[in-house]
């Protein structure tokens, strides 16, 4: 029996529809997007802003002023949050548990790395690390979308992958419930720890999350990784709101 017969049968029993235009999907590249709608999702041309003060900054590097205060060295953002389809994908994966959409998100993030021409440079000196959820949230949701994104990316780029290297301390208020920007930044200080300092020592890290907001979470993870010996930590998000 050919390998591809099973998904084909699944598609007959449980047809998939494009999230955007509603057309029935059949052997498309994406799980929840038709090829036509997927092509219309504009990817960022170049990362050109400091993650923290939004000043112009080459390659998304944290500017000189902000790098005195923050540990995240750069931020790459694949797609535009203003795009309603991008928002729909993020909401579905986060709040409706449609975890397979994370594969489509990862596919778009991979295309972005190719577009900005850095995919070839992500070699064995780089370590792919997903932003973790705390244990309770992970158990409640059943998956960590950042991990699913990393699972996919790790098959596309030749860098190393460290899935469980960061741990989030439980019991903190989920970011979405803390409305004000400054209290959000305060909420996560010291919330993460690195579990394997040998693995991150002198490594360049690509720290992956689905959405970046204030970058407080990414920065706190970067702090944990840097204090464990990491050389450079770049955040990589699907979109930033
Ligand atoms: Zn479509
Ligand atoms: Zn700055």
Domain map (residue ranges) of the chain: 1-40, 43-240
CA dist 188 and 218 (Å) reads: 10
- What is the dotted CATH code of the domain comprising 43-240? 3.40.50
CA dist 222 and 204 (Å) reads: 11
43: CA distance to ligand 1 center in Å? 17
Q: Which two tokens stand for residue 11?
A: 């598609």
Residue 68 CA: which ligand is closest?
2
Residues of the chain with pLDDT > 70, as a percent, come to: 88
pLDDT for res 119:
82
pLDDT for res 11:
72
Report the chain's mean pLDDT, rounded to a whole number: 86
39: CA distance to ligand 1 center in Å? 9
Range with the lowest mean pLDDT among 40-44, 164-168, 175-179? 175-179
146: CA distance to ligand 1 center in Å? 25
Predicted confidence (pLDDT) per residue in 105-144, tens digit: 999 999 999 998 888 888 888 999 999 987 787 888 888 9
CA dist 121 and 165 (Å) reads: 23
CA dist 165 and 225 (Å) reads: 9
Beta bridge partners of 8: none
Residue 75 CA: which ligand is closest?
2
CA dist 181 and 52 (Å) reads: 12
Q: How far is CA 65 from CA 20, 48, 50, in A?
A: 41, 16, 10
Contacting residues for 172 by C-beta, under 8 A, at least 6 apart: 134, 187, 188, 191
65: CA distance to ligand 2 center in Å? 6
83: CA distance to ligand 2 center in Å? 25
Q: Report, as an integer, the average pLDDT of 168-197.
A: 63
Checking if the pLDDT of 76 tops 80, the result is yes
Write down the pTM of the prediction: 0.87
Are the C-beta atoms of residues 177 and 205 closer than 8 Å to each other? no
């Amino acid at each position: 029996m050919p390998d591809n017969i099973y998904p084909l049968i699944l598609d007959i029993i449980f047809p998939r529809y494009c999230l955007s235009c509603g057309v029935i999907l059949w052997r498309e590249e994406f799980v929840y997007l038709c090829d036509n709608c997927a092509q219309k999702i504009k990817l960022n041309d170049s990362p050109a802003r400091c993650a923290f003060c939004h000043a112009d900054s080459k390659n998304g590097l944290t500017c000189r002023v902000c790098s005195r205060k923050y540990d995240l060295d750069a931020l790459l953002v694949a797609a535009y949050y203003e795009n309603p389809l991008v928002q729909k994908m993020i909401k579905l994966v986060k709040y409706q548990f449609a975890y397979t959409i994370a594969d489509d998100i990862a596919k778009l993030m991979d295309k972005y790395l190719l577009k900005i021409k850095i995919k070839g440079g992500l070699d064995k000196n780089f370590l792919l690390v997903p932003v973790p959820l705390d244990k309770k949230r992970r158990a409640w949701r059943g998956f960590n979308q950042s991990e699913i994104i990393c699972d996919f990316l790790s098959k596309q780029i030749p860098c190393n992958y460290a899935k469980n290297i960061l741990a989030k301390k439980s019991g903190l208020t989920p970011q979405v419930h803390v409305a004000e920007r400054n209290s959000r930044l305060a909420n996560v200080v010291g919330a993460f720890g690195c579990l394997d300092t040998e693995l991150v020592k002198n490594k360049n890290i690509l720290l992956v999350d689905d959405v970046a907001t204030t970058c407080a979470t990414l920065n706190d993870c970067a702090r944990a990784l840097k204090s464990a010996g990491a050389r450079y930590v770049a955040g990589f998000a699907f979109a930033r709101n």
